[in-house]
Amino acid sequence: MPQMRYVILKLEQQLEFVQMPSSHAYQLTALNQRLHKELEKLTAQEVPQLPRVIAECDDLELVGTAHTFTQGLDYINGLEKSFAGIQEKSYPLISLLTEIRALQAQLEQWYEDEFEG
């Protein structure tokens, strides 16, 4: 069983729990911080709301059914889709998409190696 790490994100009062390979969790945290730093520079009308990483942990057991885990690749795929849909005119959005897609490719390779190889 691969070693997993949990990244906890918060948007307003909503929490999201992303299950990441432990070797890649820090990359999601760093990407999240970079995206927040750059979000305010975007001039597009429709900029997605982005939760903030509030914690990482090695073990996490959710109690009850109010919350579930999101797999890391699913989270990154959704993030890529929401940023790819931004109609940005003046800020070089491609650099942010490149960072998202780089982590996306790493996770795809990790899942392929871990579960298919």
Quick: pLDDT tens for 17-42.
999 999 999 999 999 999 999 988 88
* Domains in the chain: boundaries: 4-115
Please check whether residue 22 is in contact with residue 45, taking contact to mean a CB–CB distance below 8 angstroms. Answer: no
3-class DSSP state of 110: helix
According to DSSP, residue 96 is labeled: H
pLDDT tens track for 69-98 = 999 999 999 999 999 998 887 777 888 999
What are the tokens at 84?
A: 């790819």
Which pLDDT value is given to residue 2? 82
72, 18 contact by CB (below 8 A) = yes
Model pLDDT for residues 49-62, shown as the tens digit of each residue? 999 999 999 999 99
8 A C-beta contact, residue 96 and residue 38: yes
**Does position 103 have pLDDT exceeding 70, yes or no?**
yes
Amino acid at site 78: G
- Characterize the bridge pairing of strands 4-11 and 52-57: antiparallel
